[in-house]
Amino acid sequence: MNSYVLSLLGGRLLIAAVTLLIVAFTVFAATEVLPGDVAEVLLGQSATPEAVAGLRAAMHLNDPAILRFLHWLAGLLTGDLGRSYANNMPVKDLIGTRLLSSLKLAGATTLFSVPVALTLGILSAMWRGSLFDRTVTVLTIAVISVPEFMVATSAVLIFAVYLKWLPALSFTSDSLTFLQLLRALAMPIITLSCVISAQMIRMTRAAVIETLNTPYVEMALLKGASRPRMVLRHALPNAIGPIANAVALSLSYLLGGVIIVETIFNYPGIAKLMVDAVSTRDLPLIQSCAMIFCVVYLALITLADMIAILSNPRLRR
């Protein structure tokens, strides 16, 4: 690995760190302008002005915003996410089990959707213009055009109400067997897979087709290479970078974009926890959930960029 590649990788990490700092400031500023007073929400409408003022002082809400931001940022860097206003307990204790549930759902969706999406995208590019390609293209456009709440509602109506194969609400427990857990997660997995797979298929297809149009792939075809060999041996290795970006962009949705899915299926994940925190104006919990979503997104995008750099033979040389 040459010094130029190392400098590119270091530059990507530096950009990710600066972006994360900007995002942290934006998240803090956005929660600060939420309507209502935290102290009044916690104490209720019958609270006296003295009680509200005392609680604001105890929670350091009267301190300048920049001091509160620096204190919160220092806590993030040391792993201290603060205490939940509504639950009066450490935020990391509240997030722990919820984050594990969301990661479990995201992992199951990834294991199902990524192989299916990559296979369909590569086959569509391989047989471009065929009936299979046109069918996959129409289906992906149809899925992308439908809002995710409609996909979730349709899944409930079909699999829970009419067919009665799956439960309408999802739940997890340590006592569940693997098949019981798979059945409980089936509805959210189906919904999320439809949402992220469609975009992944289109981006994978476009990346492989672009590589197939390069001169060296056309030369391999003229030399008698079969279409599967041309795609798998020559085109696919050089399309790893764009495909990695397609996968990263799609998977980054799984934590931050599952709010509707977790709400519809009453799934105890971190997205639903954030929705509940907004209703109680629990600022430390809102900020921590938002930062987790942003960290995961930036980590996936940065990882995809690094894979694209490392898979580029011209940069390696």
Residue 113 in domain? yes
- CB burial readout 48-83, b (16+ within 10 A) else e: eeeebeebbeebebeeeeeebbeebeeebeeeebbb
- The pTM (predicted TM-score) of the whole model is 0.77
Q: Would you state the pLDDT for residue 317?
A: 59
Q: Would you state the pLDDT for residue 244?
A: 82
Spatial separation of the C-alpha atoms in residues 195 and 149, rounded to whole Å: 10
Coil vs helix vs strand at 83: strand
Half-sphere exposure of 294 (CA within 13 A, CB side): 19
Number of domains in the chain: 1
Residue 117 in domain? yes
Q: Would you state the pLDDT for residue 155?
A: 82
Mean pLDDT of successive 10-residue segments in the chain (317 residues)? Answer: 77 88 88 71 70 74 81 84 80 84 84 89 86 90 81 82 78 69 81 84 86 74 70 73 81 72 80 81 84 86 81 64
Coil vs helix vs strand at 128: coil
CA-to-CA dists, residue 14 to 1, 9, 11, 18, angstroms = 19, 9, 5, 6
Q: Would you state the pLDDT for residue 1?
A: 60
Residue 55 in domain? no
Q: Would you state the pLDDT for residue 313?
A: 66
Q: Would you state the pLDDT for residue 316?
A: 57
Q: Could you list the residue range(s) of the whole structural domain that residue 272 is in? A: 90-316
Q: Would you state the pLDDT for residue 37?
A: 66
Q: Would you state the pLDDT for residue 289?
A: 86
Q: Is-contact 103 94, C-beta < 8 A? A: no
Residue 32 in domain? no
Residue 168 in domain? yes
